[in-house]
Amino acid sequence: MRSRSGCFAASPKRQQRQQQLIEQYVFSRRTMLALLGFICAPGLEHFLVVGDTQPPEPTPPANPQIPTLPQKNSLADQKERQQQLEIARSQYQLTSRLPNSVRVETLPVQEAFDEGYSKNRASITQKSIENQQAFLQDPKPFLALEDYTNVFKVLPVPEIAKTFRKDAIFALQRLWGPNPMELTNVLALNYNLQEKLGITNEIFQTVLAAARGTAYVSETLESATKNGGLFVTDYAILASDGITSKTNRYLIAPIALYYADRDRGDWRLIPIAIQLGQIPQESLLCTPLDGADWTLAKLIAQMADFSVHELVRHLGQTHLALEPIALATVRELPALHPVNVLLKPHFEFTMAINAFGDRVLINPGGYVDVILGGTLESSLNLVNLGVSEVFNNFSNFALPNNLQKRGVSDRSILKDFPYRDDGLLIWDALFEYVNRYMGIYYRSNKDIREDFELQNWLKALRTPVSDGGFGVTSLPQNLTHRDQLINLLTQIIFTAGPQHSAIAWTQYQYMSFIPNMPGAIYQPVPTTKGIVNENNLTSFLPGVEPTFAQVNVISGIGVKLDVKAFTDFGVNSFQDPRAIAVLKGLQNRLDVVEKQISQRNKHREECYPGFLPSRIANSTSG
């Protein structure tokens, strides 16, 4: 039966069964310890239902299956491996739902969610239903921005609801929030800032003086640029060809300007201005001195960040960029190929979660259609653009390269950028792990060159989709050195686990509270100042149905549902005693990283959980 908000309510029998599941399962000790050590902000983890048993320790089985390189096998074994691949290709048939993302046509049974994962999803869904029903029993209108806290009756009120109006918190989300992928130094831009942004030196100095509480500042727009202190978030992708707003909604492509204030000592970001469009002559420019107009400008910038995060960075550049790689791996590398063994845990449920997304997220009438400002076709175009960005420039999205390319790697300017600082700890640990693991099987570059299965995998990956490949066209033509393979595999694992976790598990605290990150704007953007006031701000925001659609979907996809810790896959994947020793080395290093990040969080303005190893999932399914 459909409720007034358009979502389906569970039957009494189903509700009773879900409650039984909640009572039957308790937290595992490891999960509880992780939660006790995670003092950032209350989330949804206490709604999960998980078993009280622990995965087995990664110890060698009695008769281990040892990965081997094909060129070191007998001809008979090579033939058997090829037969295995033929079976895999028949099970994993290919289709393409977007031009640049190859998908599995029918989900094989071995790729389906397991019982524990499904129970956790059912538990979160049940709480979302209860939360919505509680609101609808006594609905209150949204007359002020703060009234959106009333939608949280069962689900916890996000901490951001207390601080979202503060400019410092708005700026902080570029560094701490769910989408730390947009902030770019002006010196790294491929265009002249003042040709695209209607900012003058007078505006810059006036805003900076007000932020510092002084009458005069010596810093100019020119000197701030030369010193590397100016940053932008430019949502130009939302103005790409083929991107249009849905009827009665408005999808805007703003540009926001920030200054890293070195006079403060911490170089904290200060928001300077937001331009509500890509063309300065046609777009309103708002600053923190503009009252309600500035509040609306922040809402629009946050709406743009929501759209780019969800469609480009999250769905496009993790979920749908990884499924083609997972498919190439299972179709081109036999089960006992060392690269297959290494990657398999990081593709767990990847195809299943994407199939789930097809049914409830990106289908007509699904969450994306209901929540976001663009037409469904436009949203899918943005997802496809996200995949294309990665596949056409794959190495640019390796964490160290991406930070360098955006001009945000310099710690002397952005002194505290948790996504960068904590992320590099994880990246370095993974790089060492992959290096040591590959060293077991590839003793020389010659081993790489002669591994014909590996080369076939690479060829399939880099072949264009139009020619029957997987479309990662920027990969090298051949793998000739171990370093090439190590970098490639490190990036794949980092994207599947840490990167996805950092941008997914932070969603609830920032994206479920509508006035912080609305999915769409519902009124035309003013072309002059003074029209907007506190009494009409909520008219730009969603009503009850899209509000609950956003809260419900973010509560469903913004929490880690798989209780296994990062790298906690033991004998389910690794049976070679040498590989198990390498895995234990990584786990030990991640224990140290956990302590380092926890210590950093004690001294930060806001706690950042994105790269805490205890909060990282092994794959995009989480």
- The DSSP-derived string for 61-107 is -SS------GGGS-HHHHHHHHHHHHHHHHHS-EEEEETTEEEESS-
Residues pairing with 96 in the sheet? 102
Query: Which pLDDT band, with edges at 50, 70 and 90, does 113 fall under?
Result: confident
More confident residue, 164 or 7: 164
Q: Concatenate the DSSP letters of all residues of 473-513 into one string.
A: TTS-SS--SHHHHHHHHHHHHHIIIIIHHHHHTTHHHHHSS
Which range is least confidently modeled, 121-125, 436-440, 451-455? 121-125
Q: Which pLDDT does position 118 carry in this prediction?
A: 80
Cα separation, 476 vs 534, in Å, equals 55
Domains in the chain: boundaries:
12-163+295-523+531-615, 167-294
Amino acid at 320: L
Q: Which pLDDT does position 33 carry in this prediction?
A: 33
Q: Are strands 94-98 and 255-260 parallel, antiparallel or unpaired?
A: unpaired
Q: Which pLDDT does position 27 carry in this prediction?
A: 29
Query: Which pLDDT band, with edges at 50, 70 and 90, does 267 fall under?
Result: low
Q: Write the pLDDT tens digit of every residue in 352-362.
A: 999 999 999 99
Q: Which pLDDT does position 412 carry in this prediction?
A: 87
Q: Write the pLDDT tens digit of every residue in 168-221.
A: 999 999 999 999 999 999 999 988 888 999 999 999 999 999 999 998 899 999
Percentage of residues of the chain with pLDDT beyond 90: 78
Question: Of 157, 136, 125, nearest to 516 (Cα)?
Answer: 157
**pLDDT at 601 exceeding the cut of 90:** yes
Query: Which helix (H) or strand (E) element contains residue 211?
Result: helix 201-212
What is the rounded average pLDDT of the residues 547-575? 81
**pLDDT at 19 exceeding the cut of 70:** no
CA angle 196, 198, 204 (to 5 degrees): 120
Mean pLDDT of the chain: 89
Percentage of residues of the chain with pLDDT beyond 70: 88
Query: Which pLDDT band, with edges at 50, 70 and 90, does 349 fall under?
Result: very high
What is the rounded average pLDDT of the residues 279-297? 97
Q: Which pLDDT does position 117 carry in this prediction?
A: 75
Alpha helices in 346-408 (DSSP H): 350-360, 367-371, 376-392, 399-405
Query: Which pLDDT band, with edges at 50, 70 and 90, does 282 fall under?
Result: very high
- The pTM of the full predicted model, rounded to 2 decimals, is 0.90
Q: Write the pLDDT tens digit of every residue in 371-420.
A: 999 999 999 999 999 999 999 999 999 999 999 999 999 998 898 999 99
What tokens were used for 33?
């310890």
Q: Write the pLDDT tens digit of every residue in 510-546.
A: 999 999 999 999 999 999 999 999 999 999 999 999 9
Q: Write the pLDDT tens digit of every residue in 115-166.
A: 777 887 788 888 889 999 999 999 999 999 999 999 999 999 999 999 999 9
167-294 has which fold? Answer: Nuclear Transport Factor 2; Chain: A, (3.10.450)
Q: Map residue 269 onto helix, strand or coil.
A: strand
Q: Map residue 270 onto helix, strand or coil.
A: strand
Q: Write the pLDDT tens digit of every residue in 461-518.
A: 999 999 999 999 999 999 999 999 999 999 999 999 999 999 999 999 999 999 999 9
12-163+295-523+531-615 has which fold? Answer: Lipoxygenase-1; domain 5 (1.20.245)
Q: Which pLDDT does position 588 carry in this prediction?
A: 95
More confident residue, 183 or 268: 183
Distances (CA, A) of 465 to 116, 326, 397, 476: 35, 15, 20, 16
CB-based contacts of 455: which residues, under 8 Å, 6+ apart?
449, 478, 479
Residues pairing with 274 in the sheet? 256, 286
**Residue 245 DSSP label:** B
